[in-house]
Amino acid sequence: MHIDKLSKAKVALLVCSLLGGFYCLLNAAGAELFCGTRGCEIYAGYGLFGLSFYIYGFAGFLGIFLLTLWYPRRGAHLLLSVAVGLALLFDTLFLIYQSLLWPCSNCHVVALLIGLTAFFAVFGLDLPGRKVLIGTGLLWSVFFLFVGLAVVKEVAFSPWPIYGSAEASVKVYFSPTCPACEEAARKILNDPQAATETAFYPIAKNSTDEARLARLLRNPGPMINVADMLGLFEQEPDHPAKLSVREKFLLFCNKMALARSDATRVPLIVSPSIIEIDSLDVGLSLPIENLWGRPVGTTPDAGCSAFTDDEDCEE
């Protein structure tokens, strides 16, 4: 019975380490498997001594694979325990790093394979230092779950643009009942070049916002145009349309994206550079917050609240 259990654990360990090695090798070659978060593109360029971290991951999985083949011969117990422990330790440190900065979906697949490898090694084989490995594994589990939730939040709850492309370089979060948002929308949409580079993400903070958005989404036209967008800021009819469950979910995703940026007011304009609108005599005189830096020219009371009806909403 003991031999059967040992054989199954070795097979599982060999499969996990082999999959992990191939996965790291493919990503090192530029495959970008399961890349669905911003962290994937950022960490793809990370390396040490001129080598991608995926190469080190491949070497680690290969080492564990070879030591598992050698197990239970002399010396394999200690070396395999050290290899698994180091893999868990380094991955825990990287998970902590991701929890502080950007989560990475394809890195999380690597972490999952490391966790499975460690599980089968610790509970299936007779390795020294099991208590240390289990303690490290518990710490790893905490940050694995934390980063996993962040990955799910970014992948499954990505913000939804009602106008423009999700790949647009400029993103505007707005509310249809916010006067400052209307001013920003009119100035951007009336400039053809700025309009093509901008995506608008609606935030529904009350039933009036929902009614105006539902009216726009029920328009019979094939696609939403500039006139439709500007019509969002007009009074809704006496019998407004209702949003579907899916549409409410998409609007909730936009609120989540706004919350992740630590913003509580709209309009929020996210841009990698200064926005220039050449067709207007008067420039964009609205609060502009850059997601990657400190707010520029804003005050805590600028614009409108993104989550509640604000009687002091600035016009």
What fold characterizes domain 2-156? de novo design (two linked rop proteins) (1.20.1440)
Answer with the residue of higher pLDDT: 154 or 314. Answer: 154
Q: Would you tell me how many other CB atoms lie within 10 Å of the CB of residue 93?
A: 12
pLDDT band at 274 (very low <50, low <70, confident <90, very high): low
Q: Is the pLDDT of residue 257 over 50?
A: yes
The encoded tokens of residue 66 equal 């070879």
Cα–Cα distance between 286 and 266 in angstroms, integer?
A: 10
| Mean pLDDT over the full length of the chain | 84
Question: What are the C-alpha distances in Å from 64 to residues 13, 58, 61?
Answer: 8, 10, 5
Cα–Cα distance between 298 and 286 in angstroms, integer?
A: 8
Cα–Cα distance between 127 and 72 in angstroms, integer?
A: 10
pLDDT in tens, 211-239: 999 988 888 767 888 888 998 888 766 66
Cα–Cα distance between 312 and 303 in angstroms, integer?
A: 9
Q: Which pLDDT score, from 0 to 100, does residue 292 have? A: 35
Q: Residues 132-158: what's their mean pLDDT?
A: 94
The encoded tokens of residue 32 equal 């970008």
Q: Which pLDDT score, from 0 to 100, does residue 237 have? A: 64
Q: Which pLDDT score, from 0 to 100, does residue 116 have? A: 96
Domain 170-305 has CATH 3.40.30: yes
Torsion sign, CA atoms 290, 154, 306, 239: positive
Distant-in-sequence, close-in-space partners of 174: CB < 8 Å, separation ≥ 6:
181, 184, 185, 200, 201, 202, 203, 266, 267
User: Domain map of the chain by residue range?
Assistant: 2-156, 170-305
pLDDT in tens, 88-138: 999 999 999 999 999 999 999 999 999 999 999 999 898 999 999 999 999
β-partners of residue 265 are 305
β-partners of residue 270 are 171
Q: 88 with 114: CB under 8 angstroms?
A: yes
